[in-house]
Structure 1
Amino acid sequence: MTRIKYAIDSKLEFAQHVYDVDFYQKNYREIDGKIFRVSDVGNSLIPTLAYFEENFEDTDSPQNFLMQNESDEAGWTGFTLQSPRAHGVSDYIKLNQCISKNGCDFLENRVEPSDTVVRSGTRSLRTYSVPPSFGVPVAKASLDTELLHYKKGDTVWFSAWYYI
């Protein structure tokens, strides 16, 4: 799917490819029946996961629960912090990389461990997003992983507790 937006002069302008037909072929490899994610850096292969659990109890910063390199066993591979100060894709990718390497702080939106509201332990994950603004219709704070792998017909179970 390709998104098209209208410019002020009513001409069509390319905005973004939402779906890439070749995404799987570009980013995953199957070797001896096992699926691997192709690393963005160095083309190394990272084993995918069929099971993943995280309680955020043993972490005090995003660097502790984000995968930092191919040998890291963390299950989370990134986050998106889109906001008025980091509204473009390149802006929030740069911010993600800087925060992930512990080189800078959050601008507005946050994804971080917290002890403010917990369910059964001493920590939880807190995400915070400022509201969208004029000219920036989307603001979000989300955590993601590209390591979980399921195919058509698989059963996927997901369990989480949210405080809103």
Structure 2
Amino acid sequence: MMNKKYAAQEELSVGEVSSRSGLPVSTIHFYESKGLISSQRNNGNHRRYKRGVLRKLAVIKVAQKTGIPLEEIKQAMSQLSNDKTITAEDWNNLAEQWRTDLNKRINQLTRLRDILGSCIGCGCLSVDECKLFNPKDSVAVNGPGAYYLDPNVHLGDE
């Protein structure tokens, strides 16, 4: 049931956006400073947000919960007009953009979960050889560090 107070309003104050979105005012201001959302100033120099900002904030919250960095969220959402309310089709397009990356992250986390008890990520952090996952220190050619934690590094026979 829609709250009658907000039903006829085209623009909302930051307090109303906070109340409706469940986000603190400081978070709304932060998102605005990062270019994820925008507002206009009224004659009293107070911020006013279009109603569509509520859906944008919901999308931002969902995307962040899946681990998508704010810069990637900003890039994806920059395709949408600031005045436009995000539609189901818009959401599907955004989700599709993020799906491949999310699948890579899921696979990486699954792999790390499965070796967590027996491996510290290899490169072996000063150990010359890891008989379990890095026999003959084959990952050493990549330099120092925990290379099994980096999804951008190809590790030979994997």
Structure with greater helix percent? 2
TM-score, structure 2 normalization: 0.21
Larger radius of gyration: 2
Structure with greater strand percent? 1
